[in-house]
Amino acid sequence: MPARIDAQQRRQHVVEAAFRLVVAQGLEGMSLRKVAAEAGLNIGSVRHYFDDHHDLVAAAVRETGDRMGRRLARHTPETLVGLQGEAAVDALQALVEEVLPVDDARCAETTVLLEFMVAARTKPVFRPVTEQMAADLHQLVADALDALGVADVHGEADRLTALIGGLTIDTVTPHGSLGVDRLRATLRAHLRAVLPPVLEG
Amino acid sequence: MPARIDAQQRRQHVVEAAFRLVVAQGLEGMSLRKVAAEAGLNIGSVRHYFDDHHDLVAAAVRETGDRMGRRLARHTPETLVGLQGEAAVDALQALVEEVLPVDDARCAETTVLLEFMVAARTKPVFRPVTEQMAADLHQLVADALDALGVADVHGEADRLTALIGGLTIDTVTPHGSLGVDRLRATLRAHLRAVLPPVLEG
DNA sequence: CCATATTTATCACACCCGTGATAAACATGG
DNA sequence: CCATGTTTATCACGGGTGTGATAAATATGG
């Protein structure tokens, strides 16, 4: 048998090239030829690891969902139980910032995610990441708010997830761009307003 | 001279066909051939009224910005001065709902706007609508909050505009979809929390 | 009625795309 | 060293897009 190559790792490499192109050119950067060039491979090689263009897209969608899932899995709501005041705000802020564009890596990931979400409206291939993200994030946020003693967990989870989406689009997209500092400040102000006041005595 | 046709009206008709296609198929539905078919015209006719594909896109972008501008212009912050309690909430809610996807018409418009905003990240043609919208909305929201006696106008305007963006994407995009009722409820809860309490006595 | 300028309709070209089919290069196992 | 099956590279086809150029149809003004 010949040419020992880890197929899984190859696919990963190609998918990462696809991500770079989506960030740079939007969804239409994810063509087989462009992705192959970006990955330093020949079109035929890419097609050897991905049956279809659809298959490549599906892999990218799956990877995006997995990454966000991994980001969210790093935080468990149980660790928040009992926290009050600024400690509670800090903990929840750290949790939420995990999926906000606060550095280059997260900025790239949220950019790709936003492109996929908007595309999901008309192209079913992109649905999985959209649905998984929404469900996971909403669940985690709801659990976190519950652990921190927030009253209207459902309503506040809706509000916080909406705020997260809005902050993301305002930062990633070029409308004068919020900027990381104002993003953080806005989130912090919201968390302070939502979390219950410290118990006296 | 022949064939009296209002060119302005013709262009409007074509642009509206383009909007329908963007809603149905995303940005790639806005090709010259598809738009011509949707408008019931020949490709050559469309090209007679629009020099370029770029020109058609620019017209659509301008029209989108104008519509949103007209929506916002229907509300002047001065009418809010002095309102308190539920009356203030109602007035501000009505103002904000003007640009939220609460009915079919607004849903179509916000969908097109979202597609354009995301596209603006990589394609400069779409920039104008993005920047105009962000500036106008932020200004109007800030003025409204100021008129209603909110303390941290800048910070709260950032937060409310972010919430608007998030509610829009959550409703227009298919992640389990917020739905108009929960959208309205979430907005109302936020406004109640942000507006100052009624002055006693 | 006819001439004129506007409006409409076609054709052809080059580019990019996904895809099927096929041939070459390659490193390993015997 | 050779044969085997993996990996890479290339060609060709049909479909879609924007665009330039050109011909036909149309309705008005004289």
Confidence of residue B9 (pLDDT cuts 50, 70, 90): confident
What pLDDT shows up at residue A199? Answer: 72
Are the beta carbons of A134 and B162 separated by less than 8 Å?
no
Q: B125: helix, coil or strand? A: helix
Residue B10 buriedness (CB in 10 A; 0-12 / 13-18 / 19+): middle
Q: A102: helix, coil or strand? A: coil
- For B115, phi then psi, to 5°, come to -60, -45
What pLDDT shows up at residue A198? Answer: 82
Separation in Å, CA of A42 to nearest CA in chain B: 26
Joined together, the tokens standing for residue A16 give: 């990462």
pLDDT digits (tens, 9 = 90+) for A130-172: 999 999 999 999 999 999 999 999 999 999 999 999 999 999 9
Kindly report the length of chain B: 201
- Contacts with A119 from chain B: Cβ below 8 Å: 26
What pLDDT shows up at residue B127? Answer: 96
Question: Domains in chain A, start-ordered, CATH in brackets?
Answer: 1-50 (1.10.10.60), 62-194 (1.10.357.10)
pLDDT digits (tens, 9 = 90+) for B94-112: 999 999 999 999 999 999 9
Residue B146 pLDDT greater than 70, yes or no: yes
Share of chain B above pLDDT 70, in %: 96
- For A98, phi then psi, to 5°, come to -55, -30
Torsion angle of C-alpha atoms A139, A144, A149, A153, degrees rounded to 10: -20
Confidence of residue A201 (pLDDT cuts 50, 70, 90): low
Are the beta carbons of A120 and B174 separated by less than 8 Å?
yes
Joined together, the tokens standing for residue A147 give: 């652990």
What pLDDT shows up at residue A177? Answer: 72
pLDDT digits (tens, 9 = 90+) for B42-80: 999 999 999 999 999 999 999 999 999 999 999 999 999
pLDDT digits (tens, 9 = 90+) for A94-125: 999 999 999 999 999 999 999 999 999 999 99
Q: Is B51 on the interface with A (CB under 8 A)?
A: no
The residue of chain A nearest to residue B190, with distances taken between CA atoms, is A159
- Contacts with A34 from chain B: Cβ below 8 Å: none
Rounded mean pLDDT of A178-200?
93
Rounded mean pLDDT of B149-171?
97
Residue window 132-161, chain A: list those with CB within 8 Å of chain B.
Answer: 133-135, 152, 155, 158-159, 161
Residue A2 pLDDT greater than 60, yes or no: no
Q: At what angle do helices B153-172 and A153-172 cross, to 10 degrees?
A: 100
Q: Is A24 on the interface with B (CB under 8 A)?
A: yes
Residue A178 pLDDT greater than 60, yes or no: yes
Q: B11: helix, coil or strand? A: helix
What pLDDT shows up at residue A189? Answer: 98
Q: How far is the CA of B2 from the C1' of D26 (A)?
A: 8
- Contacts with A178 from chain B: Cβ below 8 Å: 158, 162
Confidence of residue A176 (pLDDT cuts 50, 70, 90): low
- Contacts with A182 from chain B: Cβ below 8 Å: 158
- Contacts with A135 from chain B: Cβ below 8 Å: 175-176
Q: In Å, what is the CA distance from B82 to each residue of A201, B91, B150, B151, B189?
A: 39, 11, 12, 15, 21
Residues 6+ away with beta carbon under 8 Å from A188: A89, A93
Nearest to B135 by CA among A174, A19, A59, A60: A174
C-alpha B41/C-alpha A37 separation (Å) is: 39
C-alpha B28/C-alpha B21 separation (Å) is: 9
In this complex, the nucleotide whose C1' atom is nearest to the CA atom of residue A1 is: C28
Distance of CA B74 to the CA centre of its chain: 13
Task: List, chain by chain, residues whose CB lies under 7 Å from nucleic acid strand C.
Answer: A 1-4, 30-34, 43-44, 47, 52-54; B 1-5, 7, 10, 41-45, 47-49
C-alpha B138/C-alpha A182 separation (Å) is: 14
Q: Is B24 on the interface with A (CB under 8 A)?
A: yes
* Residue whose CA lies closest to nucleotide C10 C1': B44
Torsion angle of C-alpha atoms B183, B173, A156, A169, degrees rounded to 10: -110
In this complex, the nucleotide whose C1' atom is nearest to the CA atom of residue A53 is: C18
**Mean pLDDT across chain B:** 94
pLDDT digits (tens, 9 = 90+) for A22-79: 999 999 999 999 999 999 999 999 999 999 999 999 999 999 999 999 999 999 999 9
Are the beta carbons of A189 and B152 separated by less than 8 Å?
yes
Q: Is A174 on the interface with B (CB under 8 A)?
A: yes
pLDDT digits (tens, 9 = 90+) for B169-184: 999 998 867 899 999 9
Residue B116 buriedness (CB in 10 A; 0-12 / 13-18 / 19+): buried
What pLDDT shows up at residue A175? Answer: 82
What pLDDT shows up at residue A159? Answer: 98
Q: A80: helix, coil or strand? A: helix
Q: What would you measure as the largest C-alpha separation in chain A, in angstroms?
A: 74
Rounded mean pLDDT of B83-87?
94
Give the number of other Cβ atoms within 10 Å of residue A155's Cβ: 17
Q: Is B31 on the interface with A (CB under 8 A)?
A: no
What pLDDT shows up at residue A56? Answer: 97
Residue B81 pLDDT greater than 90, yes or no: yes
